[in-house]
Amino acid sequence: MAVFGVDYAWGRPGVAALKSAGAKFVCRYLSHDTTGKNLTRDEADELSGAGLWLVVVWESTASRALDGRAAGEADARDAAAQAEALGMPEDRPIYFAVDFDATSGQQPAINAYLDGAASVIGRGRVGLYGGHGPVKRAFDAKKITYGWQTYAWSDGKWDARAQLQQYSNDHDINGVSTDYDRAVKSDYGQWRVGASPEGDDMPDYVSVGIKTAQQLPPGKWTNVNWNVDYSDAEHQHSDGGGPSVLTGSARYALSAALTVGGVPAGTLIQARVVEVEIADTDKFEAGPIQDFVAVGEQTNVLYGLAADTVREDHRVRLQLVQHGQAAATLTSGSAKVFFWR
259-267: average pLDDT: 95
- Residues linked to residue 94 through DSSP beta bridges, in sequence order: 126
pLDDT at 241 over 90: no
**Residue 22 φ/ψ region, left for φ over 0, alpha for ψ in the -120 to 50 degree band, beta for the rest:** left
pTM here is 0.65
Report pLDDT for 229: 87
Chain segment 287-306, per-residue pLDDT in tens: 999 999 999 889 999 998 88
Mean pLDDT of the chain: 93
269-277: average pLDDT: 97
pLDDT at 250 over 60: yes
- Whole-number Å distance between alpha carbons of 17 and 25: 13
Report pLDDT for 292: 96
98-106: average pLDDT: 98
Distances (CA, A) of 136 to 3, 99, 133: 22, 15, 5
Domains within the chain, CATH numbers bracketed: 3-200 (3.20.20.80), 203-340 (2.60.120.1120)
- Lowest mean pLDDT, pick from 43-57, 122-136, 227-241: 227-241
pLDDT at 336 over 70: yes
- Whole-number Å distance between alpha carbons of 132 and 149: 6
Report pLDDT for 297: 85
Confidence bin at 104 (pLDDT 50/70/90): very high
Confidence bin at 239 (pLDDT 50/70/90): low
Report pLDDT for 1: 39
Report pLDDT for 211: 87
130-156: average pLDDT: 97
